[in-house]
Amino acid sequence: MRELRALLIEAGSILAHLLLNPSAEVIRRLCSRYYDLQEHFVLRYKEARNCAITALGTVQAALSFPP
């Protein structure tokens, strides 16, 4: 949860920065950082899903973490 909150805060920061300074270079950098964050979130989701499967079993974890 801590990492998800950090991602949310950073996403808000990206949006605020974009609204204040919408130059092409800033937009490229922010989009690049957004994609990095998105990739990190996907990796963390997969890790959480695997941990849930280990702890809860495949059927119960699948209900909480769809593939």
**pLDDT higher than 70, residue 1:** no
Give residue limits of the domains in the chain: 2-64
Torsional class of 49: left (φ above 0), alpha (ψ -120 to 50), beta (otherwise): alpha
**DSSP state, 11?**
H
**Model confidence over 5-57: pLDDT tens digits?**
787 788 788 778 777 776 777 777 878 888 888 888 888 888 887 887 787 77
Q: Which residues contact 64 (CB under 8 A, 6 or more apart)?
A: 52, 56
Predicted confidence at residue 67, as pLDDT, reads: 64
